Amino acid sequence: MMSIPRTNPAMTSLPSSQDTRPERIILHVDMDSFYASVEVQRRPELRGKPVVIGSDPKEGKGRGVACTCSYEARAFGIRSAMPVSQAYVLCPHAIFLPPDFDYYSRISGGIMELLRSTGFRFLQVSIDEAYLDLSPCGSFGAAVSLAGQIREDLQSRFGLTCSIGIAPGKTVAKIASDFHKPNGLTVVEPGDIRAFLAPLPVNKIPGVGKKAELHLLELGIRTVGDLAATDIQVLLGRFGRGAVSLHALALGNDTAELEEYDGIKSLSRETTFDSDTDDPARLMSSLNALAVAVHQALEDEHCRCRTVTVKIRYQGFVTRTKSRTLLHMTGNAEPIRACSQELLREMYDGRKVRLVGIRLSSCEKPDPCQMTLGI
């Protein structure tokens, strides 16, 4: 394993096995404190300050949560998903900014385009993270050079830093990108996976959440090394088949492959009424049916979405649309239905309607490398 701290982003010495021909080289990139860094980039006066992206803390009485915060704010103990009231207590002089999702989505689009344009197999897994399959590079040394180029390009084009992990499989690449944040580059070569993972707490494995962590702790398993040393039969008895890939990973076998996914940009469903209507109940029930249908389409694609748009075409073909970006990606029917109803209520002006429609956009596929345990 080789870790390159942020103070030394340029590689000077290449890993010893640069001449070997590994089967797979996967790069995972994750932007650092993404929403906060994007805000700091467009408001340079915020640089170096604790910045929290979330709703107004109202001097400790606000009820929302923080989406993320700058690393300066993290030094005060503030974290993503923490209530803003708590964040305010930890750092009253932090700068709290409301999220501007449309802007973050646009910047994310540019970043993903840059990564895609490298020409390697590409998979975006969230607004600020993606994988590239760098196997055609032929060596870890060549992959590290390319990673350096990507970091430079992201810095010069967007003024943003990222953290990168390079490993023979997706799961280890993802764990590695988180290893030296922010602005880190961590390379785990094929023979080093087990040693790299062994000291890490089990919750560093994607998909091992609080519940799984507690179950593992009950078995005396705290680190990935403990997991490797545990008899697979014990794990199978406790977690079922989900334990197989988890145990294999702990032993150094990262089998998660990168399947390229072009991504659906949007999904829509619409209904044209037999006769134009201004009956609110009829409009709402049609909208609800559309929400069910478009959600089904989303499920069929195994996707989640972030933005909901409602379209109304009035008599005479005058068409209006209104969009809303949800706080989180969702694959659930309820937020889509509720948001569509809200948009219709806000937009409808009482005229006779010819057509209504719902469109879901900013769609993405959840990261398939998440481990799932049968608990």
Which residues in 119-147 are b (16+ Cβ under 10 Å) and which e?
ebbbbbbebbbbbbbbbebebbbebbebb
Tokens of 121: 């197999």
Q: Are 243 and 235 in contact (CB under 8 A)?
A: yes
Q: Which of 130, 105, 120, 110 is nearest to 30 (CA)?
A: 130
Q: Are 87 and 81 in contact (CB under 8 A)?
A: no
Residue 32 as a binder of ligand TTP (CB under 6 A): the answer is: yes
Set 39, 72, 129, 189: catalytic member: 129
Residue 39 as a binder of Mg ion (CB under 5 A): the answer is: no
Binding mask 238-257 for ligand TTP (x = CB under 6 A): --------------------
152 is catalytic: no
Partner interacting with residue 81 (select from ligand TTP, Mg ion, none; CB below 5-8 Å by kind): ligand TTP
- Residue of the chain from 39, 46, 51, 68 that contacts ligand TTP (CB under 6 A): 68
Partner interacting with residue 107 (select from ligand TTP, Mg ion, none; CB below 5-8 Å by kind): none
Residue 107 as a binder of ligand TTP (CB under 6 A): the answer is: no
Q: How many residues does the chain have?
A: 375
Residue 128 as a binder of ligand TTP (CB under 6 A): the answer is: yes
The answer for residues whose C-beta is within 8 angstroms of residue 347's C-beta and 6 or more apart is 310, 312, 320, 322
Residue 33 as a binder of ligand TTP (CB under 6 A): the answer is: yes
Residue 367 as a binder of Mg ion (CB under 5 A): the answer is: no
CA dist 249 and 197 (Å) reads 9
Instruction: Please state, as a whole number, how many other Cβ atoms lie within 10 Å of the Cβ of residue 92.
Output: 11
Q: Are 178 and 204 in contact (CB under 8 A)?
A: yes
Q: Mark the segment that binds ligand TTP (CB under 6 A) among 29-37, 202-210, 272-280, 281-289.
A: 29-37
Looking only at residues 105 through 134 of this chain, which bind Mg ion when binding is defined by CB under 5 A? 128
Residue 67 as a binder of ligand TTP (CB under 6 A): the answer is: yes
Looking only at residues 108 through 127 of this chain, which bind ligand TTP when binding is defined by CB under 6 A? 127
Residue 192 as a binder of ligand TTP (CB under 6 A): the answer is: no
Q: Summarize as ranges the residues that interact with ligand TTP (CB under 6 A).
A: 30-35, 67-68, 80-81, 127-128, 181-182
The residues annotated with a catalytic role in the active site are 129
